[in-house]
Structure 1
């Protein structure tokens, strides 16, 4: 009976050690993966760093990277243009997931009718599909865009 008790205790100790090692191992990985800090930003934050848009865009267009690396997958940006600004026809390698946070934006994708985004509107833009847009005349337009692929934009050049 004494041996049985010792064997049972040994099994419990082994089980506890196994669980401890398992949780330590998996917990360590979770900490490394979860070591990134959370983030909350608005388009009016003073610490946002705004940079120029691609060179084919008219003056006045700016972009602020919110999260990620523009040269890698999964990057989030604010895209800002003044009121009455016309965004020339272009396309992206990546699909776009967008939410308008300021202004009113008229968007037209090739082969589709114009759609009007108001503050809070969500839009999905398929990868490589050409599109144009125009900001309304009252307020600047700020668009949150989540890119799946690295950030790029290619103008549509009309041949004469």
Structure 2
């Protein structure tokens, strides 16, 4: 299989912000390892969360800020890479329209947490702040 970015069928992913659309390149993120490509609008943020599998991200274009609990904030630019081990709390904010490749080592889930580290439902994590 070979496809260019403009040939992908992007769509919303349940439990993720509306400012993010993605496409599955390989695997089935609901059942096991997978590779995704995602587009983030400028200013789009995925608030504090963790995943069961390890998550690998590579920024293909744009500028994004990756924040991880107990680690230095990283500003990723085109070609930038980050790896978050499973269960490691992190958040991502796209500073300038971003295209990102995301690889998960297992079934991809998202668990949002509040400031105290307590798990919260996606609806609460993703509600617009006034």
Give the TM bin, normalised by the shorter chain.
0.7 to 0.9
Aligned alpha-carbon RMSD (Å): 1.6
Gap runs ≥5 in structure 1: 1-38
Which protein has greater RCO, CA pairs closer than 8 Å, 6+ apart? 2
Of the candidates 47, 53, 61, which is equivalent to residue 13 of structure 2? 53
User: Counterparts of 2:109 and 2:38 in 1: how far apart (Å)?
Assistant: 13
Q: Cα distance, 1:158 vs. partner?
A: 4.4
Q: Cα distance, 1:141 vs. partner?
A: 0.9
For the pair shown, which has the larger CA radius of gyration, 1 or 2? 1
Gap runs ≥5 in structure 2: 117-130
User: Counterparts of 1:121 and 1:51 in 2: how far apart (Å)?
Assistant: 24
TM-score normalised to structure 1 length: 0.66
Larger helix proportion of the pair: 1
Moved over 6 A (4+): none
Taking the TM superposition and a 5 Å limit, the aligned residue runs for 1:6-155 are 39-42=1-4, 44-46=5-7, 48-55=8-15, 57-136=16-95, 139-155=96-112
Larger strand proportion of the pair: 2
User: SS in structure 2 opposite 1:51?
Assistant: coil
